[in-house]
């Protein structure tokens, strides 16, 4: 969840939703919880752990993620606009698709029938991500440029 931007935006727009946000970083969760308190968004639960690990046995109507998806050797990581971002929030390492693959692999076990998985990925990664989604049983796979 990082700073909580996605979870808190959803909580703000959909106050009746119950939202669970995960991050492996305790420091990131501290920031996200502070942001939730600042914006008086109490319907968000924060749990520490990698991806779905703190969600064992739970199923959701919607899973949303903006995972790290930039290869560690990508020159884009040196851009001034990214220098303040934690490196682990931007890159999973040499395999830019590693985090996306982990999420796609585990998501079906945590989605209700008819549930949605929404992911942000790199501009050139759409075909590879779509291939993984279809292989994992997802239907109606689409990518949209932002």
Element (H, E) at 44: strand 44-48
Mean pLDDT of 111-130: 95
Residues 73 and 45: beta-carbon distance below 8 Å: no
pLDDT score recorded for residue 86: 83
Q: Does pTM top 0.85 for this prediction? A: yes
| Each residue's pLDDT tens digit, 62-107 | 999 999 998 888 888 888 888 788 888 888 888 999 999 999 999 9
HSE-up (13 A, CA, CB side) for residue 145: 2
């Amino acid at each position: 969840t990082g700073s909580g931007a996605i979870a808190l935006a959803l909580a703000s727009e959909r106050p009746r939703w119950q939202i669970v946000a995960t991050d492996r970083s305790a420091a990131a969760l501290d920031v996200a919880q502070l942001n939730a308190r600042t914006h008086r968004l109490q319907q968000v639960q924060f749990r520490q752990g990698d991806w779905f690990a703190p969600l064992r046995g739970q199923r959701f109507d919607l899973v949303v993620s903006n995972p790290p998806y930039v290869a560690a050797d990508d020159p884009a990581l040196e851009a001034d606009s990214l220098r303040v971002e934690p490196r682990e929030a931007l890159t999973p390492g040499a395999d830019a698709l590693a985090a996306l693959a982990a999420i796609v692999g585990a998501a079906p076990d945590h989605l209700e029938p008819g549930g949605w998985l929404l992911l942000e990925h790199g501009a050139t990664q759409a075909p590879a991500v779509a291939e993984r989604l279809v292989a994992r049983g997802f239907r109606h796979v689409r990518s949209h440029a932002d």
